[in-house]
Structure formats: C-alpha cells, structure tokens
Homo-oligomer: A and B are copies of this chain.
Amino acid sequence: MGSQQKKSNVLLVGSGGVGTIAAVNLEVGGLAEVTAVLRSNHDAVVKNGFHIKSCDHGVLSGWRPSKIVKSIPDVQKENLPPYDYIVMSTKNIPDVPPTAADLIKSAITPHHTTVVLIQNGLNIEKPFFAAFPNNAVLSGVSLIGSHEISHGVIEHDDNDRLVLGPFRNPNLDAAYEEKVAKEFARIYSAGGKTNCTYTADVGFSRWKKLVYNACLNSICAITGLDTGRIRLADGALDALVRPAMEEIRAAAKKAGYDLPPEVVEATIDMDPLTMYLPPSMLNDLRKGNFIEAENILGEPIREAEALGVPTPTLKVLYGLLKAIQWRTKEARGMVEIPPKEDFVAQS
C-alpha cells in the first residue's frame, strides 16, 4: 500500500476515444489510480480489456484501468475514499437531461474533488459552479485524434495535446485553482508520452477550438460532408466555412482573444484532406446520437450577442442543428407530436 497512497484517486466519466487515452496517460505516469465508469463498452472491456492502437503509446492489448465500474459511484453511500479528480470526457449535451453536473453529483466531495472537463464549447463550467460552488473546475481542451471504433477498441492516430487550466470560480482562491490545475497537468504528463500544457487563461484555447467546432464541425454535420469533402464541394468554403470562422474570430476578439487571421486557413487545412475525417457531430448524427450544438454553437452565439457582435451565419447553422436535434429527440420518443391524419383525395 506504500506507494499506492500517494496516487491521486481519479474517476473517469466517458471512456471513449478521448477519455481512454486520458486514462492511459494518467495510469502510465504512475501518479494516479483511475476508476473508469463504463457503459456501452463495459462488458467488452471487463472481458477483454481495451485494445488500443496509439500514436503515443503503441499497441496496448487487453489494457485495463485500475478499476472498472458500471455507474457513477456514490461516495457517501458506498463509503468510498473521496475522488481527487473527476475527469469528464463524455459528450456534453445540456439540452438533453440528465446534465453533466447532475450525473456526477454522488461522486463529488465538496471542498475536495476537482472536476476536469475535457469537453468542447463555451460556458461548460457554469452548471458545475452552480451545482458545486466550492469545487475547482478545470478546462481541458483536447486536440487529440482518437476514436472508439468498436466497443473497447481505440484508434488513436493524432497525438494527445491537452491544454489545461482553471475555470475562474469566484468562490475559490485563484492560487488554489492554479495549484490543483498544475498538479493535474503533472500527473497527466508523468508518463512522458503526452503534451499537457498549463494555461492561466483558458478562454483563448476554447475560442480557438471553436473556429473548428462551431464552423467546420457544424457545417459538416448539416451537409453530411467530412472535412475533406467540404473542401472539394462547390464553394462551401467561401459561402459557409470562412464567413462562419470570421464570425467566431470577431466574437473572440471582442471577448479579448485575438485569434490571428491565419487561424482560418490553418483550421480548414488541419485535418489532411485525403483523411476524409468526419468531425464529431457528423459522426454523432450518423450514429443517430445527440449533438453538442448548445455548447459549441449556442453559447458562442449568445456570448457574441452580449458583446454586440453579429453572427448571421452561425445563427442559421445553430437553428438548423437545433431542428436536427429535435428530430433525434422525436426518433427517440422524447417528444410527442399530434398523430398523422389522412387527407384522402375526395372524388
């Protein structure tokens, strides 16, 4: 038990492409013990472990985190030691209950557990500040390319670069937030295989990633084209992608983050064209899943509006994605609509 006691106790919620590599990073550094909450892939991983083909870690066959559980633990009822960190790498879909904060409530120890959100979009910390006013919440912006291609099988083909820093919670001491953020970055990087950068100002990395997510991700999801094909399709870059990206740049600038003009073309060219990579929301729609439109499009639009920056392109994309989200809700029986009536031809 000697060295074990020094390890941080980490709960991982969301062990898909991004979360599983986070778990590997945390475990291989030897400074953390990860309990992974598995759902769809639970039985496969309990039986065979993860099969991971990783550009950072090589091939890991039958890999397992320290503990595997099937649902969010209840630290009080189960009399568990407190979690030092809860890493959330699930999709974040506030318009479909339960919310992410509701989900992890039973695993939080007030004044102790730090929540690490490796999730997309803006204002994702706010529901956590409201639910857990005395817990630090960290921003993790991940630029990893990693996907779970079948239950427990992870293909990690673009290096893990995690930009980490505290969301500023006015209830807490900034020095404390900085300390837990730097400590998590240290634990995460201890294996020496990943690139975890601490930042004091998380806004820049969040707005910068929106250039991809609010624009390319949205437009690919709506049109059904991947990031390669959207570059080949008739005029889509000029009509849609570039105007949307310039709106994000304008809003970011007003919010205090000056993204250079080059960010537009660099983001368009980020995924190699011939990879024909479907961004996350296109993937989600193809699987019939909900999409993260609220945090990666709705929140930036509302921020821009508050700052007086017009977002005519983004607003239309957002309206369309909300309608598409409603379609998924209907498909899952979550909304009721009046029955279809027959309008028979009268003769």
Residues of A within 8 A of B (CB): 53-55, 57-59, 155-158, 219, 222-225, 228-230, 232-236, 239-240, 272-276, 312-313, 315-320, 322-327, 330, 335, 337-341, 343-347
Say yes or no: A224 contacts B53, CB within 8 Å: no
* A317 contact set on B, CB distance < 8 A: 316
* A330 contact set on B, CB distance < 8 A: 229
CB distance from A53 to the nearest CB of B (A): 5
Task: Indicate which residue in B225, B234, B337 contacts A232 across the interface (CB closer than 8 Å).
Answer: B337
* A228 contact set on B, CB distance < 8 A: 337
Say yes or no: A54 contacts B345, CB within 8 Å: yes
Task: Indicate which residue in B59, B338, B347 contacts A273 across the interface (CB closer than 8 Å).
Answer: B338
CB distance from A286 to the nearest CB of B (A): 13
User: What is the oligomeric copy number?
Assistant: 2
Q: Which of A59, A156, A223, A230 has the most C-beta atoms of chain B within 10 angstroms of its own C-beta?
A: A223
CA of A164 to CA of B151, assembled, Å = 61
Say yes or no: B345 contacts A156, CB within 8 Å: yes
* A229 contact set on B, CB distance < 8 A: 326-327, 330, 337
Jot down 27 A-B pairs with beta carbons below 8 A, ordered by A. A54-B345, A54-B347, A219-B320, A222-B320, A223-B320, A223-B323, A223-B324, A224-B327, A225-B323, A225-B326, A228-B337, A229-B326, A233-B323, A234-B323, A234-B326, A236-B323, A236-B326, A239-B316, A239-B318, A239-B322, A240-B316, A240-B323, A273-B338, A274-B339, A274-B340, A275-B343, A316-B316
CB distance from A282 to the nearest CB of B (A): 12
Say yes or no: A343 contacts B230, CB within 8 Å: no
CB distance from A63 to the nearest CB of B (A): 14
CB distance from A303 to the nearest CB of B (A): 17
CA of A332 to CA of B345, assembled, Å = 36
* A155 contact set on B, CB distance < 8 A: 345
* A235 contact set on B, CB distance < 8 A: 319, 322
CB closest residue in chain B, given A230: B323
Q: Which of A228, A234, A325, A335 has the most C-beta atoms of chain B within 10 angstroms of its own C-beta?
A: A234
Task: Indicate which residue in B53, B316, B343 contacts A345 across the interface (CB closer than 8 Å).
Answer: B53
* A322 contact set on B, CB distance < 8 A: 233-236, 239
CA of A134 to CA of B175, assembled, Å = 83
CB closest residue in chain B, given A275: B343
CA of A254 to CA of B206, assembled, Å = 43
Say yes or no: A274 contacts B59, CB within 8 Å: no
CB distance from A39 to the nearest CB of B (A): 25
* A240 contact set on B, CB distance < 8 A: 316, 319-320, 323
* A345 contact set on B, CB distance < 8 A: 53-55, 155-157
Q: Which of A240, A322, A335, A345 has the most C-beta atoms of chain B within 10 angstroms of its own C-beta?
A: A345
